[in-house]
Structure 1
Amino acid sequence: IGVFESETAAPVSFSVQWLNMTRIELTKKDINTQNPLSGAVYGIYTDKKCENLLMTMTATETDGKAVSDYFDAALKTVYVKEVTAPTGYKLNTEVYKVEVAAGKTLTVTATDERVTGKVKIAKIDKETLAFKAQGDSALRGAVYGLYAKEDIVHPDGTTGVLYK
């Protein structure tokens, strides 16, 4: 049989002081249609050159929104920049300066341009493989058609078919 002894101790008190926290809600849209875009990933940086990464936000959802984790509002100013563009869109290189406010969710709205392409046709002489025609013949005046193998849908996922 063991004996249990209890010592009396002075009461201990402590207080928890929570940091003033904040977070950022980002909304991503197509620059032309203003429809929301999913798949954009942004970084939050502590410097204007965006070299000191504080955190990477999750990718924007189908509503175009992503919300960061909470961070210390004592930073005063942070910078938000896209690190991954949505599929079918150009990377937005703009740096968004955000003045931090304790206890608030700060909002940033950003846009992306869709990737487009150009087709350039240069007609050459079949025999000489040169851009200059032989004799009295001409290479000008030809008309070409450009057709999509399948429907080309706008990458924002909402606008619909661009080319049939």
Structure 2
Amino acid sequence: LHNVTTGKTSSAGASVEICGGTKFYLSAPLTQAVDVKGEWSVTMKGSIIKDYSAYKITTGSETQDLALVFGEGVTDEKYVDFKVSWVKQATLEIVKKDRKSNKAIAGAVYGVYSDKDGKNLITKMPATDANGASSVTITKTQDTVYLKEISVPNGYLLDTKAYDVKLVIGDTVKQTVTDAEQMASLTVYKLGEVLTGAKVTDDGVSFVYTEQRQKGAVYNVYAAADIVSADGTVIYKKDALVKAGLTTGDDGSATLDNLYLGKYVVKEMQAPQNLVCTGESQEITLSYAGSNVEKVMGSVTFKNARQKASVSVYKQDKETKKYLPGGTYGLYAGNDIKAADGTVVVKKDTLIEKAVTGTDGKAVYQADLPIA
């Protein structure tokens, strides 16, 4: 018994005396719910000597009379019975952590379900705090309940696992739960023109080029800004080298996996054969794509100009070395010319183009010649 008026608390099972006008309440350990199988009853005994008295006891939101007494000098003892039904409550507590760093995660929300599939929600837990903690007290209606994540803070993937938890009346059951950070993949594509055919006539050859993906382009990847993980750890400082020598393969692409979300710069360091490297840079931001997206996919495409050849001829008098106009010269294939796929598109000794020298004795061929 807790005597609110005097501030004293009796020992369990002790006899107590309560005077008129005393405010008090009764308490028992939560484990009592198991010990008494749900209900407990007792008889309160007391004497009242005033002309008119009323005693009441509060049970939750209701109030019941203990006794009503009329008359002077009443010595007859009065009795009242009351019954207590103990609430079977248990507490669930979770601690949310980053799966990789083990740091606490704030803002994650879990639901308590009666079924493993997460279809029957019992209650939604408060969002985890700065320590990654959240707790809820529920009435035990079944031995085992299931914890499933409802929402996560930005940067993390939703944990789809159902955690089965066995409830203990009057006690707290703790469960550690983790989230994986959303990662990204960056693919670099290289495009450039290659020889794919030729139109051969009696007057010459017109070469055909097609833009295709290119093997052998080399790139460096840098942090365009501080790269920070979801738990706040700085992974790369701005301008730090993330990957050197990223090289396109046979399909003309190169992929960098397991990147943290953030802003990156891709710089071309070397172009494939017969293409011009200008040292071009491209910036890309790999942003959070939602809690159900396993991996963020990003890409950049670089296009290089094809190296070209210019061929010219001069007509000159053998004796005076004076440049002569009107000389006609033919340009011929010195070897079989093959397309990128190895097909011969122009045979050896085929006339490619004719050119006539001008007043300056110079003739320039206009054919878009492939580089060997």
Q: Same fold (TM over 0.5)?
A: yes
Q: Does 1:163 align with 2:260?
A: no
What is the aligned partner in structure 1 of residue 168 from structure 2? 101
Equivalent position SS for 2:141: helix
**Cross-structure match for 1:130:** 212
Corresponding residue of 1:39 = 107
Query: 1:19-38: CA deviations, max 9, x gaps?
Result: 11001100111111111111
Residue 39 of structure 1: SS of its match in structure 2? coil
* Counterpart-to-counterpart distance in 1, 2:229 and 2:81: 61
Q: Percent identity?
A: 38
CA distance in structure 2 between the partners assigned to 1:52 and 1:11 by the alignment = 47
Among 64, 77, 80, the alignment partner of 2:132 is 64
Instruction: State how 1:9-158 maps to structure 2 within 5 Å.
Output: 13-68=81-136, 70-125=137-192, 128-131=210-213, 139-157=214-232
1:123-154 alpha-carbon deviations (Å, 9 max, x no partner): 111573322xxxxxxx3222212233321112
**Residue 11 (structure 1) shift:** 6.9
How far is the alpha carbon of 1:103 from its aligned partner?
Answer: 0.6
Q: Distance in 1 between matches of 2:154 and 2:107?
A: 7
* Corresponding position of 1:135: none
Q: Is the 8 A contact 1:50 1:81 kept in 2?
A: yes
> What SS does structure 1 have at the residue aligned with 2:174?
strand
How far apart, in 2, do the equivalents of 1:21 and 1:75 lie?
11
Equivalent residues of 1:39, 1:87 under 8 A apart: no
- Determine the C-alpha separation between the residues in 1 that align with 2:222 and 2:140: 54
Scaled by the length of structure 2, what TM-score is found?
Answer: 0.38
Can you give the 5+ residue segments of structure 2 that lack an aligned partner in the other structure?
1-52, 54-67, 70-77, 194-208, 238-372
Please list the CA deviations of residues 82-111 of structure 1 after superposition, one character each: whole Å capped at 9, or x if unmatched.
011222111110000011111111111111
Q: Distance in 1 between matches of 2:79 and 2:230?
A: 64
- Alpha-carbon separation, structure 2, partners of 1:14 and 1:71: 26
The Cα RMSD (Å) is 2.3
- Distance in 2 (CA, whole Å) between partners of 1:61 and 1:55 is 18
How far, CA to CA, are the matches of 1:110 and 1:25 in structure 2? 10
Matched letter for residue 80 of structure 1: L
> What's the TM-score once normalised by structure 1's chain length?
0.82
State the shift of 1:122 in Å. 1.6
Q: Which runs of 4+ in 1 moved over 4 A?
A: 8-13
Tell me the equivalent position of 2:331: none
Counterparts of 2:228 and 2:109, CA distance in 1: 22
User: Which runs of no fewer than 5 residues in structure 1 stay unpaired?
Assistant: 1-5, 132-138
Give the Cα–Cα distance (whole angstroms) in 1 for the partners of residues 236 and 103 of structure 2. Answer: 19
Tell me if structure 2 keeps the 8 A contact 1:23–1:104: yes
Instruction: For residue 163 of structure 1, report the CA deviation from its aligned partner.
Output: 1.8
Supply the AA of the counterpart residue of 2:212.
A
State the alpha-carbon separation in 2 of the partners of residues 33 and 124 from structure 1.
39
Matched residue SS, 1:14: strand
Q: Identify which of structures 1 and 2 has the higher relative contact order when contacts are C-alpha pairs closer than 8 Å and 6+ apart.
A: 1
SS of the residue aligned with 1:109?
A: strand
Aligned length: 150
